Amino acid sequence: MKIVILTGSPHKKGTSNTLVNEFIEGAESNGYIITRFDMPFLNIHPCIGCDHCGMSGPCVFNDDMPKILDTIMDSDMIVFATPIYYFGFSAQIKSAIDRFYSRNGQIQRKHLKSVFIATAWNNDNQVMQAIEKHIEILIDYLNLDNQGTILAKGYGYTGASSEKHYKEEAYNLGKRI
Ligand SMILES: Cc1cc2nc3c(=O)[nH]c(=O)nc-3n(C[C@H](O)[C@H](O)[C@H](O)COP(=O)(O)O)c2cc1C
């Protein structure tokens, strides 16, 4: 299985990337082929809604996104990993998701398997509510076959007390998919 991973944190050794690394270790033990794109370190222009692509065609921006979209179209599974920023995806990864617009139908028809990983500082009932709903609707809209979601609350920095539990969860998810 080919897996493409999109990450959204500028902290290379932060919490969401820690869970991604665990997930990769688990997935690689199954022999899966993984391609990872770290959005904060790539050139991804936000969608400007010009509709040049007509939701199915070339984008006016020839940045890193066409390559990412080609890789998505050549993959069996897509993984989204983000820190929670104001109850949602970070802008870096959301910009990439918005750029799906130019291949919207192709992505929907591909029926990709998916995994979502999010990490947040807070540990209350509210912190993951919005992203949980957003993920649920994205799965439905993009016709994803979701294989697992890790919503890591109370995990605001590496070394937090919740880290061990979430690392195990991420490794096990990578191993069982
Ligand atoms: C701009 C910004 C917004 C944030 N918003 C929230 C939030 O709404 N709720 C929360 O619990 N933590 C919030 N945090 C904290 C991060 O989600 C948390 O520290 C996370 O573990 C960071 O992930 P990373 O280490 O992968 O970058 C925010 C942090 C930043 C920088």
Q: State the pLDDT at residue 149.
A: 98
What residue numbers bound the domain in which 23 lies? 2-176
Return the pLDDT at 13. Answer: 97
CA-to-CA dists, residue 118 to 12, 65, 150, angstroms: 15, 22, 6
- Quick: pLDDT tens for 19-41: 999 999 999 999 999 999 999 99
| Nearest-angstrom CA–CA distance, 135 and 130 | 9
Please state, rounded to an integer, the average pLDDT across all residues of the chain.
98
The pLDDT value given to residue 23: 98
pLDDT at 132: 98
Could you tell me the CA-to-CA distances from 55 to 45, 71, 161 in Å, in that order?
Answer: 16, 18, 44
The residues facing 83 across adjacent strands are 119
Place 164 in a pLDDT band, splitting at 50, 70 and 90. very high
Give the residue from 107, 117, 101 showing the smallest Cα distance to 155: 117
Query: For residue 138, what is the domain's CATH number?
Result: 3.40.50.360
What residues does ligand 1 touch, defined as CB less than 6 Å away? 9, 11, 14-17, 83-87, 119-122, 127, 155-156
Rounded to an integer, the average pLDDT of 153-173 is 98
User: pLDDT digit string (tens) for 54-64?
Assistant: 999 999 999 99
Number of separate domains in the chain = 1
Ligand 1 centre from 159 Cα, in Å?
15
